[in-house]
Chain A
Amino acid sequence: MLLQNFLEESAHRFTDKVALIHKGDRWTYQEIDQGANRVAQLLRHQGVRRGDRVAIFLDNSVESVVSLFGILKADAVFLMLSPTLKANKLSYILNDCQVKVLFTHINKLGVVSEAQGSVQSLKNIVFVGKKDRIPRMDTPGTISWSEIDFLNPQSLRARGLSEPEAATRIPQSNIDLDLATIIYTSGSTGNPKGVMLTHLNMISAATSITAYLENVPEDIIIDVLPLSFDYGLYQILMTFKFGGTVVLEQSFAYPYEIIKQMVKERITGFPGVPTLFAILLQMEDLKKYDLSSLRYITNTAASLPVEHIQRIRETFPQAKLYSMYGLTECKRVSYLPPEELDHRPGSVGKGMPNEEVWIVDGNGNRMGPGVVGELVVRGSNVMRGYWGDPDATERVLKPGPLSGEKVLYTGDLFRMDEEGFLYFVGRKDDMIKTRGERVSPKEVENAVYGLEGVLETAVIPVPDEILGQAIKAIIIPKNGFSLTEKEVLRHCKKELEEFAIPKYIEFRDSLPKTSSGKIDKLTLKQEIGIK
């Protein structure tokens, strides 16, 4: 079984059912499937071979969805990149896994032009958007998305292709052990790492999740999360698996728009993150909107403050709230059955179906209840490893109970209660968890050092009710330089993604040092009263 079978089987069972709604437009399963077939043909024609990497650098859109399935159908590996990536990180990722083709939008031309020059492997760039703005280039060659236009039977006929011919499936040779995607996530060295996920990994995760959420074809899901985030991506994959409908939004900047959509489309499932729930709960009177269709709400990425859990349950009393925990390296780990929210609202539950979890001490010995230790995950949802980084892979994938198998050491500290329910305690290493994203302090420090006038800087986490942890940068300016907060922020915005930009900036004359001369972050953290 391959991931694209989710789409193909639903296109067979629910041919004319609306699969995706975006910006008011509706697309059926058949339309998405045929569009994906056209993308696969184009890729094959451009020389994309089995196992090649093809990246998507778009805002949430129907083109993102059609492309990802098209790439899978061409036996290639898709990369859903964050649309907010800056040129430096974009070029790093494209080079790291030698991307051959890039799907992007003409309004990202600035960033793409800057990044692509240093990417030798890139053969083609497909641009969505105004055709006349697409630059003419030889290497990489540029192609307009309109050439894959699957909505327009007339244009197909004009190019001498009859519809059935144009939209046929090409032969595929992948098996479920082959890679479906690489998801880049922040690394402690400052450079992102590519999490390799096979078809089997993703199918296994999707199957477990749709089981505990009890999804049915009648479910209508609203997806306001970026597709570059596995949580947002899986809403599409899972919906196509169970044959439901997904309403895809570009952002949750406008909460009222989200509520309007939820009412209009009679949304049954609402996945969110703490920042989104905090924004929604600020609205005056949510109860006046008819959200009676809502049957479940999910939260992951960071824990919800207990008062927010209560307020969400009060505001949407008919909906079940699922608190969940996971990491990109295995998609999801646990969920709390909604009935347990009354007794243990601070827990993220137990392992999901078809998976085992346990807690270990520093020597890898399994611990019982009440003790804090590192969480280990065993299951077919556990990644293949980090692309091109066997050392980093070896640090997290360690031998499991059966000969030859690997289990995932999450790097997250947990404790378990007497009944086996899990409680997140903190990160084992120094990574910061903010807005549900892992941020490497080193990455932020590297960015700050790039600003003229910075002598030394230390980046530390600060507890934050909504973000989980907020980022603080303490800076010693060079002699003769007077830096302002605004200057530092402007510089950071150029180099870092939004969630990695420091919330607090402090200027000091000196920083505490350890005996070996390194900056003493422990003391800095203790000043704020955190471990």
Chain B
Amino acid sequence: MNIENEIRKFIEENFILEGDDHLGDEDSLLEKGIIDSTGVLELVAFLEETYLFKIKDEELVPDNLDSIQKISQFVQNKLNVSCENVSRTEARG
């Protein structure tokens, strides 16, 4: 399963209701009311546990997390960087 599908699956299983409009890849999660303040924390926990990286405070911004497409891009970038640096993965504290 690719990153985008994994993320969509997590969001659909944890946040979306049956019978709602289909969530587009670029739809804003905040504006659609899909995610709220505690939802963001759950999403962050999921990403850190699944992809084994640590998300920094400054990275917790809508540009990185507010749509399925943005989250996938963000995850991809972080994974590319860690591959390039061959850095050790940080366990979530």
Interface segment among B34-42, B70-78, B80-88: the answer is: B34-42
Report A302 CB to chain B, min CB distance, Å: 15
Interface flag for B90 (CB, 8 Å): no
The 21 sampled A-B contact pairs (Cβ below 8 Å) are A83-B33, A84-B33, A84-B36, A107-B31, A110-B21, A251-B37, A252-B37, A253-B30, A255-B57, A255-B60, A256-B60, A257-B60, A257-B61, A275-B37, A276-B37, A279-B37, A279-B41, A284-B56, A486-B13, A490-B17, A490-B18
Interface flag for A8 (CB, 8 Å): no
Q: Give A260-295 as 1s and 0s: 1 = Cβ < 8 Å from B's Cβ atoms.
A: 000000000000000110010001110000000000
Residues in B with CB closer than 8 Å to A84 are: 33, 36
Report B9 CB to chain A, min CB distance, Å: 13
Q: Are B30 and A107 neighbours in the complex by a CB distance under 8 Å? A: no
Q: Are A254 and B60 neighbours in the complex by a CB distance under 8 Å? A: yes
Measured CB to CB, the residues of B under 8 A from A are 13, 15, 17-18, 20-21, 30-33, 35-41, 56-62, 65
Residues in A with CB closer than 8 Å to B31 are: 59, 107
Chain A at the B interface: SS class:
helix
Q: Are A253 and B40 neighbours in the complex by a CB distance under 8 Å? A: yes
Interface flag for A250 (CB, 8 Å): yes
Q: Give A217-260 as 1s and 0s: 1 = Cβ < 8 Å from B's Cβ atoms.
A: 00000000000000000000000000000000011111111000
Give 5 A-B pairs besides A253-B40, A275-B37 with Cβ atoms closer than 8 angstroms: A251-B30, A253-B35, A253-B37, A486-B13, A498-B38
Q: Are A494 and B17 neighbours in the complex by a CB distance under 8 Å? A: yes
Rank and list the top 8 A-B pairs by shortest CB-CB distance, nearest first. A253-B37, A253-B40, A283-B57, A256-B60, A256-B57, A252-B37, A494-B17, A284-B57
A284, closest chain B residue (CB) = B57
Tell me which residues from 58 to 87 in chain A have a Cβ below 8 Å from any Cβ of chain B: 59, 83-84
Q: Give A111-151 as 1s and 0s: 1 = Cβ < 8 Å from B's Cβ atoms.
A: 00000000000000000000000000000000000000000
Report B17 CB to chain A, min CB distance, Å: 5
In the bound complex, how far is the Cα of B58 from the Cα of A59, in angstroms?
A: 25
Interface flag for A493 (CB, 8 Å): yes
A486, closest chain B residue (CB) = B13
In the bound complex, how far is the Cα of B39 from the Cα of A192, in angstroms?
A: 25
Report A225 CB to chain B, min CB distance, Å: 11
B27, closest chain A residue (CB) = A107
In the bound complex, how far is the Cα of B21 from the Cα of A110, in angstroms?
A: 8
In the bound complex, how far is the Cα of B39 from the Cα of A84, in angstroms?
A: 14
Tell me which residues from 459 to 508 in chain A have a Cβ below 8 Å from any Cβ of chain B: 486, 490, 493-494, 498
In the bound complex, how far is the Cα of B40 from the Cα of A201, in angstroms?
A: 37
Q: Are A254 and B33 neighbours in the complex by a CB distance under 8 Å? A: no
B28, closest chain A residue (CB) = A107
A85, closest chain B residue (CB) = B33
Report A375 CB to chain B, min CB distance, Å: 30
Tell me which residues from 35 to 68 in chain A have a Cβ below 8 Å from any Cβ of chain B: 59
Report A57 CB to chain B, min CB distance, Å: 12
A279, closest chain B residue (CB) = B37
Partner pick for A254 among B13, B15, B32, B62, CB 8 A cutoff: B62
Report A270 CB to chain B, min CB distance, Å: 16
Tell me which residues from 158 to 182 in chain A have a Cβ below 8 Å from any Cβ of chain B: none
In the bound complex, how far is the Cα of B29 from the Cα of A254, in angstroms?
A: 12
In the bound complex, how far is the Cα of B41 from the Cα of A494, in angstroms?
A: 21
Q: Are B60 and A498 neighbours in the complex by a CB distance under 8 Å? A: no
Partner pick for B17 among A283, A493, A498, CB 8 A cutoff: A493
In the bound complex, how far is the Cα of B32 from the Cα of A83, in angstroms?
A: 10
Residues in A with CB closer than 8 Å to B61 are: 254, 256-257
Report A471 CB to chain B, min CB distance, Å: 13
